[in-house]
Amino acid sequence: MRALLWDNELHLAEIPVPELLHGEALIRPLLAGICATDVHITQGYRGFHGVLGHECVGVVAECEDASWIGRRVVGDVNAACLHCPTCLASDTAHCPERTTLGINRRHGTMADYFTLPIVNLLLVPDGMSDEQAIFAEPLAAALEIVERCHIRPTERVALVGDGKLGLLVAQTLRLIGCELLVIGRHPERWDLLREQGVDTAHAAQLEPSRWDVVIDCTGSADGLALARRLVRPRGRLVLKSTFHGVSPLDLSQMVVDEVTLIGSRCGPFAPALRLLERGLIETAPLIHARYRLDDALAAFRAVAGHLKVLLAP
């Protein structure tokens, strides 16, 4: 099959179709999304080598349970062992033996086929388009913020970053009713937020140490440093993005200010699908371009400075 490989070089290759293991499904992608994490992997993040990609909507091509075959699905990216103490405590996302689609010891979705455990799969509602369903994974990640950090409607929340993830996070947080401000560098993207009643600003317009909750969605050291400056003493700083590089945080000053630091990674897929199905999250304005898998190298070049780029194998 065709696959987009990273092995210290990004290139298309012909590799064997993944072996179908017990309890897993072989899935044919309909759409795969290029995420900032995929780009960071090509810069050295996590030391991953293999097929890239973890955002996908696809069709089950082969599976022990025939009822799944031909069904359109999305899937949780973390494949847990299901029998260690962490899994038995219902924390499968942090299974120490887990593999992660396109990130850790499991080939990803930018190929003709990939595999995931059946327990990871969720059916895509019939009325939902592929272009909506492809956002299930990043929207689930956005929802994990409110899973990890109870945000009250009365709180002041600043979100740093107006990229793909930031725009999804903003759309979920606006449903809470909190005082929400998105800080970014791309005012051409702000019409979507303003139409939804979300305030926007450039970093230079802001006073430091004012916000109860500050969320970094930039995937950059500069963005994280700005987020830290904005959070008030005894406020909460949510790290939503990872990046390849050294963190600029002054941990001693965080102790002095008694700032709560909260990491947030993957999230719940079922609520994400419900929000998409109910039309509460706008996805069409987030799609910049769509490429064939054969043109994946051009697709990666098109990511810089733009919103979601899709691959259609």
- Residues 6 or more apart whose CB falls under 8 angstroms from that of 97 comprise 80, 81, 84
Is 277 among the domain residues? no
92 and 16 inside one domain: yes
Is 258 among the domain residues? yes
CA distance 260 to 253: 12
**Mean model confidence pLDDT for the chain:** 95
* 197 dihedral zone (left: phi>0; alpha: psi -120 to 50; beta): left
CA distance 29 to 260: 40
Three-state SS at 21:
coil
Q: Which residue range is the domain that position 143 belongs to?
A: 139-263
What's this model's pTM, rounded to 2 decimal places? Answer: 0.95
Residue with tokens 């965080």: 254
CA distance 147 to 144: 5
For 287-290, the CB contacts below 8 A with 24+ separation are: 287/131, 290/31
125 and 147 inside one domain: no
25 and 89 inside one domain: yes
80 and 179 inside one domain: no
Q: Which CATH number goes with the domain that contains 7?
A: 3.90.180.10
Is 205 among the domain residues? yes
Check if the beta carbon of residue 51 is closer than 8 Å to that of residue 114.
Answer: yes
Write down the pLDDT at residue 249: 84
Q: Which CATH number goes with the domain that contains 163?
A: 3.40.50.720
For 218-226, the CB contacts below 8 A with 24+ separation are: 218/160, 218/161, 218/163, 218/166, 219/36, 219/40, 219/161, 219/163, 219/165, 219/243, 221/245, 221/246, 221/247, 221/248, 222/248, 223/160, 223/161, 224/248, 224/249, 225/249, 226/160, 226/183
202 and 91 inside one domain: no
Split into its structural domains, the chain has a count of: 2
158 and 44 inside one domain: no
Is 269 among the domain residues? no
**CA-wise closest residue to 107 among 30, 242, 6:** 6
**CA-wise closest residue to 288 among 302, 305, 307, 304:** 307
CA distance 130 to 222: 34
What are the structure tokens assigned to 191, written together?
Answer: 């019409």
Is 289 among the domain residues? yes
Write down the pLDDT at residue 116: 98
Write down the pLDDT at residue 219: 86
302 and 216 inside one domain: no
Low-confidence ranges of the chain (pLDDT < 70): none
